[in-house]
Amino acid sequence: MPVRRERVFHWLDAKGYFAFLRSCAECGNLEASLFLGLDEIYNRRRKSLGLHHLHKAMKGGHRVAAYTLGIILLQDPETQPLGIKTLNKLAAMDLPGAPSAHESLISGDVLIATCRREAASDMRDLTWTRLHLRPRRPCTNRLCGRVEKAGKANPWSGEESYRFCSQLCRWTHELYKFSELI
């Protein structure tokens, strides 16, 4: 059952809505696990239980849950390597109909942009939380974070391609792009 359509009930009867989500998650509904994870982490302040729900949804193949889990793990210095690994796995997933290696890379960018938009929408709809990030420290590499081809946006995602010196810089850039949406 697509529980995304039922999110409006969150504001009408929150207790009933989350009971409904718990029963859906127990039956293996990955979207319900995603929403429960967000609620546990940001509304109820129970991070370990929330991460459990997100991990369950990610293991089931829910891409937005994988993105959300990676972004959350990226924010804590202790779990940063695991967040980078999670996001790298997600970016490496092939989208249907991407025949060449070059298109596969582009499809990874499209997938990340799509997951970013959906995850931000879920955060806005289910929580009052906004990410409060410290100002980004500039990388010492002067080429890091620069647009690869000035003025040329990726035709599939509508975003410019950036060059980064490390995976940490790449995903930190993504974290800040995500935080701007919520």
Per-residue pLDDT tens over the stretch 21-49: 898 899 999 999 999 999 899 888 999 99
pLDDT digits (tens, 9 = 90+) for 102-158: 444 446 788 999 999 999 988 888 776 666 676 677 788 888 888 876 555 555 556
If phi over 0 gives left and psi between -120 and 50 gives alpha, with beta otherwise, what is residue 54? Answer: alpha
d(CA 19, CA 162): 43
- Residue extents of the structural domains in the chain: 1-61, 67-181
Residue 89 has pLDDT above 90, yes or no: yes
